[in-house]
Chains A and B, each alone.
Chain A
Amino acid sequence: MKVTNKIFNFFTFLMAIVPAVALISIFAFVFQESLPLWKFSGFSFFTTYLWNPGFQYQPPHLVHGVLAPQGAQFGLDLFLLGTLSTSALAILIAFPISFLITLNVELYLPSKIKKIMVSMIELFAGIPSVVYGLWGIIVLEPILFRSVEPWMAQHLSFIPGFKGEIYSGAGLIASGIILSFMIIPIVTSVIVNSFDTVPKEVKEGLFSLGATKWEVGKYLTTRYSRASTVGGTLLGLGRALGETMAVLMVSGAIVNTLPTSFYSATNTMAAAITSLLDSALTDSTRMDLAALAALAIVLMVISLGVSIVGRKIAGRGALRGYESD
């Protein structure tokens, strides 16, 4: 082989590992930035929900060998709770909808309209996150605040968590709904794709045995291609966990106050990093920044973990590259 060819091949190899280098350096640099926080807070970072940057106008003091503002205290519980609850709600809403949409486009709709419908559902993924946030603030929050949440508080108050004061539409419910719109295209598209790869004989066999369309659909999604269904849902969950802007805009972005009901304002790890980074820059000890870096590391570990498991279960190529996650 000629030398130029060898150089060319080596160069393509270097370029192929760029994503790996990017991923590892993101993790390494953000982790390094978070180191002072682990010394300062230790395990208490996971056991408190209070997030207090401390007094910026008093001299910083040494804690466990690192400089921190006086009175500073950092805990991720509130944000973790918000991230998990908004994502869980999003999945609860998105999964049945995606399931029914799959059944509909695969079994009930004429195949000509099917393509249009799938493209339409995929368009949900194309809407930028801030546009969802804008729509959430202007349209969704007032509807929740004026009609839906008062109705729920009045009629469903016997269920724990449904009783409480309604402050504004922003919070868990608004975030869950917006997130579900963002992940429905992902979940639907994975299930639809796996449905399309089911051999014709299996489907025809089921019908010839006398199964109804509902039974065929239920069997194929929950049994035959269960892996894609579970994997697709996890991929959607991974997206929801890391989603930033839309949730930041409709969650209420609360700090230091635990939610008391489903109507309370909430906050997520991703949204907190975005909204607190500006003020963290005023901390001359960089402890506040380290705390946000620690938040970023935890968020990254959780969402990458979920996405990797989802991808592994669903199989490579579950997503055709269009549905961002």
Chain B
Amino acid sequence: MKVTDSYAESGHEIQWKNLGSRKIKDKIAYGLSYVVLGIMVVILVSIFIYILDSGASHITLNMLITPGNTATGGVLNAIVGTWELVGMGLLFSLPPSILGALYVVNGRSNGTLSMAARLFTDVLTSVPSIVIGFFAFIVLVQRLNMGYSLIAGGIALSVMMLPYLMRIIEISFRNIPKEQIENAYALGADDIRVASRIYLPQAKVGMFSGILLAVSIAAGETAQLLYSAGWNNNYATGFLHSGVGYLTYVVWNGINYPTTYSHYLAYVSAMLLILSVTGLIALSKYIGRGK
């Protein structure tokens, strides 16, 4: 960003006449901005209250302790499946994120290559989720014959989580004082030692906060999973060839299914989703505060 730009240089001159009308304009903007902010806050709060209220008023204990098919039974298979999928996604995305971030921040890496790696990481975050889902379907489910499964769903989620994690972990690596790293190298430490004794322990908090954030985003995803994890009316029986249930599917399918009970299941799932997602975001912000 250029700092040289100044108000006068831009050719934008303040008209000293009409001070009154300028003040009125300011007052209008002032009022309007409060009105808009107020409306947005009211909408946000009303969405939360609506989802929480309609979930809480239809929840039964039975829903939480039995598996179901989005029309009857409960959502326990979906709750379990959501965390299995997110865990699987984390398993596939966390190791490459940490090691990839180490490469990007390592001063001895090839500059052009690490810049290219960062560029691709940024671009990958913008791939529409359904395109990832479509890719997972034609390649993992069909060609590699995984079937709708935990592995296919986990990989689909990890494609989305990977760039977030890599970027957040890179940022937390960069927050480490440079002198500390230089000192370690000066004392003769090699890259493995610097990574294990300085980067990882020092960036622990930032990394953990980033992981929680990535998990919260992954838990609310649907489009990648529809054709990779599929669905299961019961618990997944293995890593391959066995569909997995997840909460977002219950919301989507339940609300389109023409029975009252299926709508209740959708409300309850939406409530569970919004609680866990915002809970994770809040926790992540709390842990990463001041960073």
Expressed in whole angstroms, the minimum distance between the Cβ of B181 and any Cβ of chain A is 15
Expressed in whole angstroms, the minimum distance between the Cβ of A28 and any Cβ of chain B is 10
Per the bound structure, the CA–CA distance linking A26 and B99 in Å amounts to 22
Q: Do A134 and B7 contact each other (CB < 8 Å), given the known contacts A212-B22, A244-B130?
A: no
Residues of A close to B191: CB separation below 8 A: 5, 8-9
Stretch at the interface among B30-38, B62-70, B73-81, B234-242: B30-38
Contact indicator B192/A18 (Cβ below 8 Å):
no
Partner of B128, one of A132, A300, A315: A300
Contact indicator B281/A108 (Cβ below 8 Å):
no
Contact indicator B248/A223 (Cβ below 8 Å):
no
Q: Do A321 and B213 contact each other (CB < 8 Å), given the known contacts A119-B285, A206-B7, A303-B126?
A: yes
Q: Do A325 and B126 contact each other (CB < 8 Å), given the known contacts A101-B37, A213-B30?
A: yes
B283 within 8 A of A: no
Interface size class of A (residues with CB under 8 A): 35 or more
Expressed in whole angstroms, the minimum distance between the Cβ of A224 and any Cβ of chain B is 6
B43 within 8 A of A: yes
Q: Which of B85-127 contact A (CB under 8 A)?
A: 95-104, 106, 108-109, 113-114, 116-118, 120-127
Contact indicator A242/B252 (Cβ below 8 Å):
no
Residues of B close to A105: CB separation below 8 A: 37
Q: Do A120 and B134 contact each other (CB < 8 Å), given the known contacts A5-B190, A130-B248, A315-B1?
A: no
Expressed in whole angstroms, the minimum distance between the Cβ of B284 and any Cβ of chain A is 8
Stretch at the interface among A36-44, A68-76, A151-159, A291-299: A291-299
B257 within 8 A of A: no
A1 within 8 A of B: yes
Per the bound structure, the CA–CA distance linking A120 and B101 in Å amounts to 30
Interface residues in B, total, Cβ within 8 A: 102
Expressed in whole angstroms, the minimum distance between the Cβ of A123 and any Cβ of chain B is 6
Interface of A is mostly: helix
B149 within 8 A of A: no
Interface of B is mostly: helix
Per the bound structure, the CA–CA distance linking A25 and B230 in Å amounts to 22
B25 within 8 A of A: yes
Given A131-B273, A273-B130, A316-B122, 15 additional A-B pairs, CB 8 A: A8-B191, A15-B98, A22-B124, A23-B124, A117-B37, A123-B278, A127-B278, A128-B219, A133-B251, A135-B51, A138-B54, A217-B29, A245-B223, A277-B134, A315-B1
Binding site for B on A (CB under 8 A): 1-2, 4-5, 8-9, 11-20, 22-23, 25-26, 29-30, 33, 96-97, 100-101, 103-105, 108, 117, 119-121, 123-124, 126-135, 137-139, 181, 184, 194, 197, 199, 202, 205-206, 209-215, 217, 219, 223-225, 227, 238-239, 241-245, 249, 270, 273-274, 277, 289, 292-293, 296, 299-300, 303-304, 307-308, 311, 315-316, 320-322, 324-325
- CB-based closest 9 A-B pairs: A242-B128, A128-B220, A307-B126, A104-B33, A15-B99, A20-B120, A12-B103, A16-B100, A212-B26
